[in-house]
Amino acid sequence: MDILFITQLSKPILPIPPVSGGAPQTNLHTLMHRLDGLEIGVISPWLRKLGEPPAMESPSLSYFHQLVHPRSIRESNSRFGHFYYRFFDIYQERRYLVYAAKTIARLKPRVIVLNNRPHYATALRKAGVNRPILGYLRNVQPASYLRSHCPSLDGVIAVSKHVLLSIRSALRNTKIDGAVIHNGLDAGFWVRETKDKFLSDRSQRITFVGRLHETKGAHIVLRAMKYVRHRYGKAQLVIIGATSHDAQTGQLTNSRYEAALQKLAHGLGPGSVLLAGNLPPNQIVQRMANASIGVVPSLWEEPFGMTVIEGMAGGLPMICSRRGGIPEIITHEKDGILIDNYLDPEEWAKQIVRLLDDEELRTRLGHNARQTVLERFTIDQMARDFRSYIEKFL
């Protein structure tokens, strides 16, 4: 076997193939299909409720699943409950890594790629694994954690310069081989015709796509809508997503944050906000096709920003926070708008109104956004960059 991917135990559990969704899992699975001519395996958790796990998808792609408990840590008000579920989580991870070490010994892959969990490398080295191990890192992680576990890696693939610089800064004088490989997508999938009659008036529709968490900033744009509607009384903000991936299509999860968003939306009046809940990718594409502007108001340092390139691929002019890896995607005023004062709802309103006022600007930014994705952020480009880096270890 050429490459063995080991995916992480996430919360909630999101296996590969991505039958339960998950943007990183979907992106990684798509990448595997583009690595032609290589024999690939993937170790992934699996849930009993999903039925019998598949063993193989094609002659070049094999699955190795371990059944796990669906929720290893649950919220508990008691100290005993917290420690019990914390212990269970550690136990489940150790079982998973023992399974991974045994699978590696049997398959003898030429390269092992860990998805976002450098400490798995430390555990595998202790288990006697001496093959090249690469970390595929999609998030900025604590410096002390990186210093403890990155020495067990032979190389690092980061989704942005922002992530790679954070790793090298954490490691100080310790050198590590690394490469930046931006996420990519199927640009053809993210283009749809505007057919939805319910959303036919796209000239005053703003779309947010993302998990509903304070760090994603949906509340900032919601507050901005108060100012936008002073100028455009029919403007509508469409919020797609929920607090958890577990939400069914079109549903929210009744979290405190979602309740706060609903309260803000109610104060803006009927028709001003649509909380669409979780939606499958094909429905997200259609919503974007029927929007005029996309917004990514992240308050945290986004490692990359997959929703940014998804909107851009469909020719949607994007307004985004200047945070994390997002400035590596968007060139301000060329193929999108970057906001420095991203905590100020009035600044968001100013930029939204500016684009609603100027159809020529919206068209130009949207066209350039699509071209940027085609030139730099396709899944084929991602696969070429990935293969070029990993061939050093094959």
User: What pLDDT, in 10s, does the model give residues 144-177?
Assistant: 999 999 999 999 999 999 999 999 999 987 788 9
Hey, what's the torsion of the CAs at 157, 372, 304, 328, to 10 degrees?
Answer: 90
Is the pLDDT at 196 greater than 50? The verdict is no
Whether 109 and 5 have beta carbons less than 8 Å apart is answered as no
Strands in the chain per DSSP E = 3-6, 40-46, 56-58, 61-67, 111-115, 133-137, 155-158, 178-180, 205-209, 236-240, 273-277, 293-296, 318-321, 337-339
User: What's the token pair of residue 295?
Assistant: 């917004």
pTM above 0.85, yes or no: yes
Mean pLDDT of 173-194: 85
pLDDT at position 254 is: 85
Q: Higher model confidence: residue 16 or residue 175?
A: 16
Q: Higher model confidence: residue 254 or residue 343?
A: 343
pLDDT at position 20 is: 77
**What digits encode the pLDDT tens for the residues 62-87?**
999 999 987 644 445 566 556 666 78
Residue range(s) of every CATH 3.40.50.2000 domain in the chain: 3-184+379-390, 197-376
pLDDT at position 168 is: 93
Share of the chain above pLDDT 90, in %: 75
Is the pLDDT at 200 greater than 60? The verdict is no
Angle of helix 218-231 relative to helix 256-268, nearest 10 degrees, comes to 0
pLDDT at position 62 is: 96
pLDDT at position 275 is: 95
Task: Classify domain 3-184+379-390 at the CATH class level.
Answer: alpha beta
Say whether domain 197-376 belongs to CATH 3.40.50.2000.
yes
Whether 389 and 181 have beta carbons less than 8 Å apart is answered as yes
Mean pLDDT of 227-244: 93
